[in-house]
Amino acid sequence: MNIAWPIYRRLAAAFPHEFKLAFGDEMLEAGEEAIPDVAKRYGFLGLVRLIADLLVHIPIEYLNEMRRDLPYAARSLMKSPGYAVVGIVSMGLGIGLTTNVYSSHWVLFMRTLPGVANAEQLVTAENPASYPYIERYRETKDLFSGVAAVRNSVEFNVALNGRTGKPERVYGQLVSPDYFSVLGMDPQRGRLLRADLDKTGATPSVVVSDRYWRGRLNADPDAIGQTIHLNGQSAIIVGVTPPKFDGALTANPAELFVPTTVPAMLAHELGNDVLSDRSAKDFQMLLRLAPGITIDAAEAALDGVTRRLDKDDPLAPPQQDKAKRVVLLAAGTRVPIPREFRSKVLGFYIALMAIVTAIACLNLATMALARAASRRKELTIRLAVGASRFRLIRQMVTEGILLSLVGGGAGFAMAFGMWAVTDHTPLPAGSPISPDTALDWHTALFAFMLAVVCGIGFSAFPALQGTKTDVVPALKEGAAQQLSGQRRFGLRNLAMGAQVAGSLLLLLIAGFLVLGIANGNNISTNFDQKTMVFLFIDPIRDGYTPEKAQLFFARLPERLSSAPAVTSFALAAQPPYQLDDDDGFQLTVDDPRAASPVQKEVVKQTVGAGYFAALEEPILAGREFDQRDQRIDDRATHGSRDRVTTLPLVLNEKAAHALFGKDNAIGRHLRGNRRAYEVVGVVPDMKDAGGMIHAIAYPPLTQYDFAQPPGGGITIIARGHSAEDALGGVRSVVASMDPNLTLFNAQSLSEYLVRIRSAMRSALRTFGGIGIFGLVLSAIGLAGVTGCAVAQRRKEIGIRMALGARNSQVLGLVLRESATLIAAGTVIGFLGAVALAKALSAITSAFSDVFTVGVDDPRLLIGAPLLLAGVALLACYIPARQAAKIDPLQALRQE
Amino acid sequence: MIESQVESFLPLKTQWFHILLSLAGEEQHGYGIMQEVMQRTTGKVRLWPATLYGSIKRLIEANLIEESSARPAPEFDDARRRYYRLTPLGRRVLDAECERLQELVQAIRSKQTMVTERG
């Protein structure tokens, strides 16, 4: 016999078990006889052909076997619909949640900016800078190959040429002309902004985003060269950005890119000489590192440059010398996040998602284990009649994969649904959250991979366990079964304990987050929230001169107070209860006696006369602003160093306490943002729409603000008997003064709160979903497992009852075992959650904000474990009651 | 109903046709089929073992052949061998295939005469 024979024999042994059972012997016989014949007839090549024939057919036979597994798996799942439903629901929830979080957050932090060259070289500074500083930074050619200035979320009233109707408000970025060359971007159409073409005095050009071009210009190729009216001034559309690009350094999509070289009439943010004012820190920086320069080196060098610049500026606020003045972050992704923060944010999401996935898998694993136990007889019979163990495992894993693929489909549908809901939620006017978190094929692929991994994960282990059976005793259906059930640290018990622990961990972490975010979901007002409305008005962007605008605002209060429908009103630079917009306002106590000046950063909210009266907030000390304060004209003194007007200032309690401790704040002097202030009043702390209480300083709304309105316009706050009354009243007053003025974003306080919280609501939905998911899953899992345990112990329970055990004793017996597991799991999960929350809040301040609220909340700390334990016990109680109802005679006869 | 079932197998794969043809006369075991096909085609068609048994498996699954319990006289028998025979469906499929092939041959013949006449 030649060398072909051993190879043939080996290969023949590699065929699937079922195939070998039917044809193995014959194939060996055929080979034995054929090999000499083939060798004689065709020689060596014939033998090669023979072996090749085997090699080709092995995978074919395996595939053929597998193809039969799938319908079998589907049939067997359909036979136990409870298990299938639990499986699909848990996998669907798990995969859906994970996919949703993946697509909404991961992409935001991880995807590099579309259309950008060498995105990893892009950096930005954590804090905004003034334009003159940025120009000086641009001179450091050895550090940066490009430096651009960006001002985010600039609103424009846009009218397209040849189209009638009211102008539309569009968000854009005000950028230095080298913005696109720093990004290294090529236009999709036309040209992008260029430093050599878009000089001061040139015809204003504007670049539009791909989205704007498609959405508003109908993808018209002739749009290039068209005139567009921005805030009443004409500009030429010169180009379109590459698809999906809507601004660097911002989560808010920008649709227009306007150079900083345009006249201030076109972009009012350029007024007041911001381009030469060293104190106007209005611009974000976009820097491109020179080749070979690390971000740390650049940061250190830039810090030095900044220190020299600050030293030359006598008006710059005194700073502690040690603190870094410039902190750089990578800016190549959609949302720049601090470097040390980045890995933690990602780690947190990965950990959260891993727990979700693990719980879903554990849940199914425990169910699958229990199912394997109840399928023992089926499995054993199949083993006894000759099915290989591998074959059975393959069958069970196929079932698992099938289940999680269906679950994955459900999950993807859920993720899509959640995304669609979020996508269609109206967004708050001031902060358009990026809609570009659409699910893409990455997400689908991710969900699919997750499903397959989960499927293998939860089914392989029970399959190995379930098929490790001694055929004979199992067939006898006797004691062996109970022996394995009694093992204290059996796989099932471990899985169940881990599941309770994991679910509680999830429930608590989600609870911390939800409480942290939703804490103040009910801001308390001393009036009916439905009777208050906000409207926004911006006469400057409607073409008024500053003087005309000031005159308008001077006459407006008088007219509003004579309108019968409006019971109270106030003007402000921003709506009340607004979320902290990071507009840090540094205040220094002006006290010559103090050795080191007290310096605090507070939130600034500029408000007009009668603001607190309109909100029905009491004045705790001093007074609030009146019409005289609103008439202060500090435009001339703003930014100049010689004559400084002292402005009145109202503080809330928290700010007063932070600045002056227990001392009386009234009459004290403060400095901040190049102005002097005198505290005239103290008001109570009010929660913002996110439930947080900040230290807030309220400077007065002055003629400066009317001539130079903030980005969102001036807010008119009005109350009437109903929202409609108040709205109608304000509208008719404004229309009687000038019918051409635009009143935009009119809404009642309750609508406003709903909208401003929409971004949070999606986070809340996610985290709340995760918490409920944990609860539901563990309940389902525990009920399923206990149910199976009861089913397995029917005989034992029957004997106990026949020997006189009472119902309550049987109930106790079943519950005791589960209760131990639940208690152990609860303790572990509780400690884990608290430790994790503490660790996370210690690591980053961003988490500590949210976690501090929840971690100390007794409702959560006591409630969540109780809730989980209660639900878990209830879940076990139902099958335990079934156990107590077992009729001993029937149970014993069944065997 | 049966007609359409028969039709669904046509045209038969070459290996399937040869296996069914070998079983048309009498029951055979796997190696026997291999040898008969070799002889009938004077060595032009060789069914390699894995191909042969894979085909047999599919043919059984398709209910065209079945295992036979009849065994030859003990002196010719080998315990490892299994014998196969055509099922009624298998016979009808084979008939239908033969008919189809004959029609094909007829068609070729008539064309050939035309070709020869012209030539």
We report the CATH number of the domain holding residue B98 as: 1.10.10.10
Q: Give the pLDDT band of residue A181 (cuts 50, 70, 90).
A: very high
Domain that includes residue B94, residue range? 2-118
Note whether residue A483 is domain-resident. Answer: no
pLDDT bucket at B100, cuts 50 / 70 / 90: very high
- Classified as helix, coil or strand, A723 is helix
* Cβ pair A649, A674 in contact under 8 A: no
Among A221-225, A377-381, A631-635, A754-758, the range of highest mean pLDDT = A221-225
pLDDT tens for each residue of A198-209: 888 888 999 999
* Residue A484 belongs to some domain of the structure: no
Question: Of the ranges A182-186, A513-517, A734-738, which one carries the lowest mean pLDDT score?
Answer: A513-517
Do A198 and A53 belong to one domain? no
In a domain, A195, yes or no: yes
CB contact under 8 A, B31 and A53: no
Two tokens, residue A398: 């196929």
Cα A557 vs. chain centroid, distance in angstroms? 42
- Report yes or no on A38 lying in a domain: yes
Interface residue of B33, B53, B77, B83 to substitute, partner A, most A CBs within 10 Å? B53
Is residue A296 located within the same domain as residue A278?
A: yes
Q: Are residues A580 and A624 in the same domain?
A: yes
pLDDT computed for residue A338 by the predictor:
63
Residue range A166-185: mean pLDDT, rounded: 86
Q: How many domains does chain B have?
A: 1
Confidence tier at A177 by pLDDT (50, 70, 90): very high
**What one-character DSSP code corresponds to residue A250?**
-
Decide which of A276, A297, A332 is a domain's last residue: A332
The total number of structural domains in chain A stands at 5
In the predicted structure, residue A259 carries a pLDDT above the cut 90: yes
Mean pLDDT of A669-679: 82
Residue of B19, B28, B29, B31 best to disrupt the A interface, most CBs of A under 10 A: B31
B82 touches chain A (CB under 8 A): yes
Separation in Å, CA of B50 to nearest CA in chain A: 5
Boundary (domain end) residue, out of A311, A332, A353 = A332
**Poorest-pLDDT segment among A96-100, A177-181, A189-193:** A96-100
A41 lies in the same domain as A56:
yes
What pLDDT sits at residue A826? 83
Phi, psi of A517, deg, nearest 5: -80, -40
Selected residue with higher pLDDT from A615 and A421: A615
- Closest residue in chain B to residue A25, using alpha carbons only: B80
A106 and A27: one domain?
no
Is the model's pLDDT at A520 over the cut of 60?
no
Minimum mean pLDDT range among A22-26, A774-778, B91-95, B113-117: B113-117
Decide which of A702 and A348 is more confident.
Answer: A702
Distance from CA of B9 to the nearest CA of A (A): 19
Which one of A18, A29, A60, A65 makes the best mutation probe of the B interface by having the most chain B beta carbons within 10 Å?
A29
Instruction: Say if residue B67's pLDDT is above 80.
Output: yes
User: Mean pLDDT across the stretch A417-440?
Assistant: 52
- When pLDDT is averaged across residues A613-619 and rounded to a whole number, the result is 89
Is the pLDDT score of A390 beyond 70?
A: yes
Q: Give the integer Cα–Cα distance in Å for A717 and A703.
A: 18
Round the average pLDDT of chain B to a whole number and report it.
84
Q: Where does the pLDDT of residue A341 fall: very low under 50, low under 70, confident under 90, or very high at 90 and above?
A: low
The residue of chain B nearest to residue A20, with distances taken between CA atoms, is B53
Enter the tokens of residue A458. Answer: 């939860």
Looking at the fold, whether A141 and A26 belong to one and the same domain comes out as: no
A85 assigned to some structural domain: yes
Give me the residue from A27, A33, A50 closest to B53, CB to CB. Answer: A27
Task: Indicate whether A537 pLDDT > 90.
Answer: no
**Distance (Å, whole) CA A333 – CA A311:** 34
Cβ of residue B48 closer than 8 Å to a chain A Cβ: yes
Residues A584 and A461 in one domain: no
Higher pLDDT: A659 or A466? It is A659
- Closest to A138 in 3D by CA, of A254, A243, A290: A290
Q: Where are the beta strands (DSSP E) in A95-203?
A: 122-125, 144-160, 168-175, 189-190
Question: What's the mean per-residue pLDDT of chain A?
Answer: 78
Q: Please determine, for residue A109, whether its predicted confidence score (pLDDT) is greater than 70.
A: no
Helix (H, G, I), strand (E, B) or coil at A582: coil
Separation in Å, CA of A64 to nearest CA in chain B: 10
Nearest CA in chain B to A47: B48
**H helical segments located in A676-757:** 703-707, 723-737, 749-756
Question: Do residues A745 and A791 both lie within one domain?
Answer: no
CA distance A270 to A263: 8
What is the rounded distance in angstroms from the CA atom of residue A836 to the CA atom of residue A763? 19
Model confidence band, residue B32 (pLDDT cutoffs 50, 70, 90)? confident
Looking at the complex, report in whole angstroms how far the Cα of residue B65 sits from the nearest Cα belonging to chain A.
Answer: 14
- The arithmetic mean of pLDDT across residues A243-253, rounded, is 79
Token pair recorded at residue B3:
């007609």
Which of chain A's residues have a Cβ under 8 Å away from the Cβ of B15? none
Q: Which residues contact residue A443 at a Cβ distance below 8 angstroms, ignoring those fewer than 6 apart?
A: A99, A102, A103, A412, A415
Indicate if A149 and A206 belong to the same structural domain. yes
Write down the pLDDT at residue B97: 92
- Chain A positions touching B78 (Cβ under 8 A) are 29
Shared-domain flag, residues A276 and A127? yes
Asked, for residue A482, whether it belongs to a domain, the answer is no
Please indicate, yes or no, if residue A485 is contained in any of the structural domains.
no
In a shared domain, residues A87 and A53: no
Residue where a domain terminates, one of A332, A352, A370: A332
| pLDDT tens column, A871-892 | 777 877 877 777 777 777 776 6
Note whether A378 and A506 are same-domain residues: no
Q: Is the pLDDT of residue A483 over 90?
A: no
Residue type for position A330: A
* 3 state DSSP class of A124: strand
Is the pLDDT assigned to residue A239 strictly greater than 70? Answer: yes
Residue A433 binned pLDDT confidence (cut-offs 50, 70, 90): very low
Inter-chain contact A29–B81, Cβ cutoff 8 Å?
Answer: yes
Q: In terms of residue numbers, what domain contains A618?
A: 529-749
Query: How much is the average pLDDT of A115-135?
Result: 86
Q: Flag whether A628 is in a domain.
A: yes
